[in-house]
Amino acid sequence: MPLQRDDDIQASPPLRRLRSGQWRSMAPLLQRETGRRALRIGVADDDAVPPLPGMTWTRLWLARDGYHGDLRGHADEPLPFVDEAFDFVWLQHALEPAPQTAALLAEACRVLVPGGMLAITAVHPLGGWAPWFCWRARGQRQSLQWPWRLRRQLQRDGLEIENQRRLGAQRPGARLVGDNRWGGAYLMLARKQRRIAIPLKLRPLPAHAPVNARLSPGTRRHSVS
């Protein structure tokens, strides 16, 4: 059973239904991913993850007193993982209750390997869910995240946006799931760019060889010892 309090908007039936089918929309987009280590930071302990072959999941969920799940930690501290620990990271509505949205997004980028994929799902601020969300979340630490702001931060952190789409029902109470151009949630997929190795400018070293030996092209005569 979920451990959130009853007045937590993320534990409400409409948002549970909105999250329930998200992995079905994500799975076809991730079939070519070859990574083996995945992290899902969500808002409920029983939300499903994509059944990707060979993928081992670390699951955390964000509550008012911090992170729960496979590890425990404070929500206002860095994630308890080393740099580049995961091939795939999914923030499933975790940016909405996060005390520091930009910090959590930066941490997700930090623990992602170069070439790895970051997925974000959240309620869209423009749509049929936004009025209901804002009314229902009164007095709670919840905020809707604009996709364009997330895109800007991800691009600054060295990620390239590969896909963005709307998901789920058009409004609370509707039953439509999956991709929907007017869906209440959005999915953003971004890939962390690999580092480009820049060769250093090397200073020629003396050639330790007899004077009459054949030197490599361009070797200065006075460099021979």
Report yes or no on 223 lying in a domain. Answer: no
Residue 113, pLDDT > 90, answer: yes
Q: What is the pLDDT of residue 207?
A: 43
Closest CA to 175 of 20, 45, 26: 20
Report yes or no on 206 lying in a domain. Answer: no
Confidence tier at 141 by pLDDT (50, 70, 90)? confident
Surface-to-core class of residue 93, CB atoms within 10 Å of its CB (0-12 exposed, 13-18 middle, 19+ buried): buried
In the numeric block, which tokens belong to residue 20? 């329930």
State pLDDT tens for residues 45-96. 889 888 888 889 999 999 888 999 999 999 889 999 999 999 999 999 999 9
Report yes or no on 36 lying in a domain. Answer: yes
**DSSP secondary structure letter of residue 174:** -
Q: What is the pLDDT of residue 111?
A: 97
Report yes or no on 208 lying in a domain. Answer: no
Distance CA(186)–CA(126), nearest Å, equals: 10
- Cα-Cα-Cα-Cα torsion 44, 46, 48, 52, nearest 10 degrees, comes to 110
pTM score of the predicted model: 0.82
Residue 153, pLDDT > 90, answer: yes
Report yes or no on 172 lying in a domain. Answer: yes
| E strand spans, 130-199 | 159-167, 185-192
Please say whether the beta carbons of 122 and 145 come within 8 A: yes
State pLDDT tens for residues 207-225. 444 433 333 444 444 444 4
For residues 176-198, average pLDDT:
80
Report yes or no on 213 lying in a domain. Answer: no
Please say whether the beta carbons of 60 and 70 come within 8 A: yes
Distance CA(40)–CA(58), nearest Å, equals: 6
Report yes or no on 221 lying in a domain. Answer: no
Distance CA(142)–CA(46), nearest Å, equals: 20
Full domain range(s) for residue 18: 9-196
CATH number where 62 lies: 3.40.50.150
Number of domains in the chain: 1
Report yes or no on 220 lying in a domain. Answer: no
In the numeric block, which tokens belong to residue 116? 């790895």
Q: What is the pLDDT of residue 179?
A: 67
Distance CA(192)–CA(112), nearest Å, equals: 7
